[in-house]
Amino acid sequence: MSSLVIGSADEIGLGEVRSVQVRLGTEPEVIGEPEEQGPPGTTAIVVAHTEDGQWFALNDVCSHGPVLLSEGDFEGCTLECWGHGSRFDLATGVPQNLPADQPVATYPVAIEDGQVVIEIGQDSHDQA
């Protein structure tokens, strides 16, 4: 399990998302803007801050095909894939409707000293 600082919590308001490309490994690091099919050894991760103040992080690429979930509709505790229409539960990564039938990885989130921190390698849906 590795901690990764995504950015300042103040930069992600209620009802907003932030997505980044992350280099995986023993020392994960944010390397830039998200990509549907990033370089080998990387993944796109989206952090969502719900209207009621909850924080979630999950893989930003739809499990049905290479589309960034962060570019879709964010409503309640779901993100919708704008390309395929599947909605993903932020807490579990499980799609709520077809065509996606596989979950995306989810990551625990904490706010530490005003920073959004996720844990890579912690969750049962973690594919990293």
Output the pLDDT for position 1: 82
Instruction: Report how far residue 76's alpha carbon sits from residue 91's, in angstroms, rounded to the nearest whole number.
Output: 11
Q: Which of 60, 39, 53 is nearest to 105 (CA)?
A: 60
pTM: 0.91
Contact (CB, 8 A) for 99 and 88: no
Residue 36: pLDDT band by 50, 70, 90 thresholds? very high
- The CATH code of domain 2-120 reads 2.102.10.10
Q: Does position 122 have pLDDT exceeding 80, yes or no? A: no
Task: Write out pLDDT tens, residues 51-82.
Answer: 999 999 999 999 999 999 999 999 999 999 99
> Cβ-count burial of 90 within 10 angstroms (0-12 exposed, 13-18 middle, 19+ buried)?
buried
